[in-house]
Structure 1
Amino acid sequence: MSRLLLGNIEPGTSDEEIAAFLEKYGFPPFDSLEHEEGDGSQPAVLLTYGSLDPMVLGKLQQRIHHMYWKKRELTAAILHDRFA
């Protein structure tokens, strides 16, 4: 299982828009998407890929980290399981 935290997305961005954006840059479909709570200044989503190798996700993550989308600079971080 691999997880990607996509941060600083434009408020109000739909799940469908996120999926289309990621598909455009070569990402496979995600298994789940969770909107992360916060103060609202930098909305984020946690994407889970059940069968995607973390090394592959790392290469894909580099494509979008610090990219500008919808007038915001995105952050993309891979979350690692510490006790896996």
Structure 2
Amino acid sequence: MADLLLGNIDEHVTDAEINAFLERYGFPPFDAIQRIEGAGRPAALLTFHTASEEGLRKLQGRIHNLFWREHTVSAQVMPPAREE
């Protein structure tokens, strides 16, 4: 399981549009999405149950700093949550 933070996305983009965008660049479908509101820069935290951190890192460069829907999006693979 791995998480991808997709930042600076259009606030009106749908989950299906995000999924189609990612699939166009070789990503598997995400399993969960959490919207994160920001000060003019909304983001989405995407969870992939069937992808590894390493696998997402290989794909990350395909979309990081890509101009999509009037925004330059950022993509960051999130480290696994530490268990305490």
Instruction: With the length of structure 2 as denominator, give the TM-score of the two structures.
Output: 0.92
**Identity over the aligned pairs, expressed in percent?**
45
The one-letter amino acid paired with 1:66 is N
- Could you tell me how far apart the structure 2 residues matched to 1:22 and 1:75 are? 12
**Offset of residue 65 of structure 1:** 0.3
Which runs of no fewer than 5 residues in structure 1 stay unpaired?
A: none
The one-letter amino acid paired with 1:36 is I
Measured on the aligned residues, the alpha-carbon RMSD in Å equals: 1.2
Instruction: With the length of structure 1 as denominator, give the TM-score of the two structures.
Output: 0.92
- Alignment size in residue pairs: 83
**Which residue matches 1:4?**
4
4+ aligned runs moved over 4 Å, structure 1: none
The one-letter amino acid paired with 2:15 is D
* Secondary structure of 2:26's aligned partner: coil
**Offset of residue 71 of structure 1:** 1.3
